[in-house]
Amino acid sequence: SMKGIEKEVNVYKSEDSLGLTITDNGVGYAFIKRIKDGGVIDSVKTICVGDHIESINGENIVGWRHYDVAKKLKELKKEELFTMKLIEPKKSSEA
């Protein structure tokens, strides 16, 4: 499993677009590549670039490709709350 800080975040989907770019590392972890300034996700300060997405509304999405994760997020209803489980990778220590 990924080492890091587990976070469970509730997000209110106030806009059609969440303002999120997702990519994956080719081995089953979709992660947040970019967060658009002023977007829905940008207003949720606990979500960071580099976070791995583990589940959406309780559905485990580990092993999904980034475009399938993006599609699932896009299909969520507007004006509804959804939950994401994220893992913030541990930063490497610097001496």
At position 64, the amino acid (one-letter code) is W
Tell whether the model's pLDDT for residue 7 goes beyond 60.
yes
> Which pLDDT score, from 0 to 100, does residue 62 have?
93
**DSSP SS3 for 78:** coil
Instruction: Give the pLDDT confidence of 17-56 residue by residue, as tens digits.
Output: 999 999 988 788 899 999 999 999 999 999 999 999 999 9
CB 70 within 8 A of CB 41: no
Query: Residue 41: which region, alpha, beta or left (left: phi > 0; alpha: psi -120 to 50)?
Result: alpha
pTM across the whole model: 0.88
Tell whether the model's pLDDT for residue 2 goes beyond 70.
no
**DSSP SS3 for 69:** helix
